Amino acid sequence: MPMGSLLPMFSSPPGGGLGGGGGGGSSGLGIRKVAGPGAFRLTEKFVLLLAFSAFITLCFGAIFFLPDSSKLLSGVFFHSNSALQPASDHKQGLGLGNINAGGKGEEGSEGERAAAAAAAAAAADNLAKIREDHERALREAKETLQKLPEEIQRDILQEKEQVLQDKLLNKGNAGGLPHLDFRPSIGALGREPNDPEIRQKRAKIKEMMKHAWDNYKLYAWGLNELKPISKKGHSSSLFGNIQGATIVDALDTLFIMEMKDEFKEAKEWIEKNLDFNVNAEISVFEVNIRFVGGLLSAYYLSGEEIFRRKAVELGEKLLPAFHTPSGIPWALLNLKSGIGRNWPWASGGSSILAEFGTLHLEFVHLSHLSGNPVFAEKVFGIRNVLNTLDKPQGLYPNYLNPSSGQWGQHHVSVGGLGDSFYEYLLKAWLMSDKTDLEAKKMYFAAVQAIETHLIRKSSGGLTYIAEWKGGLLEHKMGHLTCFAGGMFALGAACASPELTQHHIELGAEIARTCYESYNRTAMKLGPEAFRFDGGVEAIATRQSEKYYILRPEVIETYMYMWRLTHDPKYRKWAWEAVEALEKHCRVDGGYSGLRDVYLKQESYDDVQQSFFLAETLKYLYLLFSDDDLLPLEHWIFNTEAHLLPVLRKNNQEVEENHK
């Protein structure tokens, strides 16, 4: 800033301008001292000097005697303020821009008084700003002193990470997302089955999808889920204030079923209404698999750019979840503040294996589509932490503390809390076009430990996967665990030759056990968990385990087993599930879960889960479609059945140069 703009009363000699070339310019600031009526009177000069002295005293006194002087100095000298700008840059300036150098004495007198008034006003404004900055600094200091040392350390790490993220995002957003030439993936749409009976069954499943979608649209449009008995919307706290879970979750199912009008209206809603700028806490895991996964899948199927933009936008908002000492992300995240935490019930504040281990597929694709490596770096960082830890008996406990980077309690499960971690190891290997050798090694080592310590056979000949708690087995298998049959079969081709057939057979045995869990209920739909003790096999013995919430895992395993073996029993079992769903879960307002599958009379839970449209109906539709629809050698399903293409070694879709 030119000194002339700070010292307006010291004018240049007659005939010389003050402004100079320092940026203030010569227009409006050059008060020239001339003889005659326009010259300053002595008293007026004194008044003006007095006013300016008061201004200097107030500003510099406040700056050097109030706390946090460095912050205030930067605020005065380096932050733009209209009161301190040259007159050529500010409409009012110091009130001198209207003084005519050749004016009369009366006009000069009025200009001096205006200058004095403006200077006093500017001084008052600056003092108010200084006080405001001072009070804010005191509040910040007080809040910091009230925090625990761990919280202060977390804040520092978050600020550092945020600076890094801002740099990366600014770099990426300078020209928008990198240009990408969309190429339709193989098998996004299939042909009608030749067999008339299979074609009829597939049409029935499409009608089920339409019934579920139409009622959601009628009674809960734009909300997360539907209450089909109450005929109103339902929103889980898992999504915070984000809305539209069913819309995003259903996108790819609508697409492959060629429900074009419904897909179009879903896309239009997303363009106009899907908003991630919410001040709410969300589940990182659930939002990732449903929203990020659903948007990525919709993009890869349709090529609509809105889905890519929204997926990357949401991915960026999830990055602060990784602001932990170990890099293991928090389970819960406030999307506005970026503050994370873990479930209070989770083993001393631990993160959960199935949650932080089920980000890999989506985040690798986010890097692929955005050109920003930070997403992939975060999830490979998780793997690095896991590989430094000792595994009890080769097993992965369900709890890991993000602060210490150490395991929590030694509870191991291939069902809830652990399940999709193992699934994503295998699928990371397959999605990488079989180049991610580390994922393959981790997967087969984990499967070997699971076979050794968790897989058992009942006296009735049913193979099941127990849970491991500190070395003791609990002979219980969850509905969620039933996905593992399909996983073992899918991974069989990657196993060593002597184990390939064994893994196919293991998948078939798990499928059989899960079928029995359905077949042994009154409603022919499976319970949330079933046991193998006390003289029972594949039956739920506790009331809290007898419910069915439209889950897909058994149907998922049937689909993989059908695709890999073409044994007709898997289609038979799947159709039995369709008949049970129609008989017991279908209501006028959609489809509802059941409170007890062992009763003869339905007791509804009144929720149509979004994953019923994303997973259960999609897997059923694929079971009664030809293999050319979403062939397994070209597509990977995330744990919400959203579709991600295999990233071929020679695939260079993302261009480095922005167009």
Q: Give which of 551, 554, 529, 525 is closest to 540, Cα–Cα.
A: 529
Residues 396-402, mean pLDDT to the nearest whole number: 98
The reported pLDDT for the residue numbered 471 is 86
The lowest-confidence range among 24-33, 296-305, 563-572, 616-625 is 24-33
E strand or H helix at 590: strand 590-591
The reported pLDDT for the residue numbered 298 is 98
At 370 the three-state DSSP class reads helix
Q: Give which of 226, 246, 318, 320 is closest to 276, Cα–Cα.
A: 318
The reported pLDDT for the residue numbered 130 is 73
pLDDT at 657 exceeding the cut of 60: no
Higher pLDDT, 236 or 492: 492
pTM of the model as a whole: 0.76
Strand ranges, E, within 376-518 = 399-400, 411-412, 455-457, 463-465, 467-469, 472-474, 476-478
pLDDT digits (tens, 9 = 90+) for 32-69: 333 444 444 566 666 666 667 666 666 555 544 444 43
Q: Is 286 known to be catalytic?
A: yes
Of the listed 112, 553, 605, 615, which one is catalytic? 553
- Kindly tell me the sign of the dihedral angle through the C-alpha atoms of 82, 88, 91, 96: positive
Look up residue 12 and give its DSSP letter.
P
pLDDT digits (tens, 9 = 90+) for 384-397: 999 999 999 999 99
pLDDT digits (tens, 9 = 90+) for 210-260: 999 999 999 999 999 999 999 999 998 999 999 999 999 999 999 999 999
Q: Is 528 known to be catalytic?
A: yes
CA distances in angstroms from 486 to 185, 290, 436, 503, 657, listed in the order given: 23, 21, 21, 10, 41
Domain ranges of the chain: 196-645
Q: Give which of 533, 517, 546 is closest to 473, Cα–Cα.
A: 533
The reported pLDDT for the residue numbered 176 is 80
The reported pLDDT for the residue numbered 144 is 66
pLDDT at 117 exceeding the cut of 80: no
Of the listed 112, 436, 528, 606, which one is catalytic? 528
Higher pLDDT, 199 or 37: 199
Residues 613-636, mean pLDDT to the nearest whole number: 98
Burial pattern 118-151, b for ≥16 Cβ within 10 A else e, equals bbeebbeebeebbeebbeeeeeeeeeeeeeeeee
- Spatial separation of the C-alpha atoms in residues 339 and 126, rounded to whole Å: 34
Of the listed 252, 316, 419, 556, which one is catalytic? 419
CB 321 within 8 Å of CB 329: yes
Residues 543-550, mean pLDDT to the nearest whole number: 98
pLDDT at 70 exceeding the cut of 60: no
pLDDT cut 90: percent of the chain above it: 70
Q: Is 349 left (phi over 0), alpha (psi -120 to 50) or beta?
A: left
Residues marked as binding?
639
Residues marked as binding for Ca(2+)?
639
pLDDT at 203 exceeding the cut of 50: yes
Residues 509-538, mean pLDDT to the nearest whole number: 97
Residues 330-351, mean pLDDT to the nearest whole number: 97
Q: What is the mean pLDDT of the chain?
A: 84
The reported pLDDT for the residue numbered 59 is 58
Contacts of 60 (CB under 8 A, 6+ apart): none
- Spatial separation of the C-alpha atoms in residues 306 and 303, rounded to whole Å: 9
pLDDT at 295 exceeding the cut of 60: yes
pLDDT at 71 exceeding the cut of 50: no
Fold of 196-645: Glycosyltransferase (1.50.10)
- Spatial separation of the C-alpha atoms in residues 138 and 143, rounded to whole Å: 9
pLDDT at 1 exceeding the cut of 70: no
Of the listed 252, 262, 281, 286, which one is catalytic? 286
Q: Is 140 known to be catalytic?
A: no
- Spatial separation of the C-alpha atoms in residues 411 and 354, rounded to whole Å: 12
The reported pLDDT for the residue numbered 194 is 96
Which tokens go with 543?
């009331």
CB 447 within 8 Å of CB 500: no
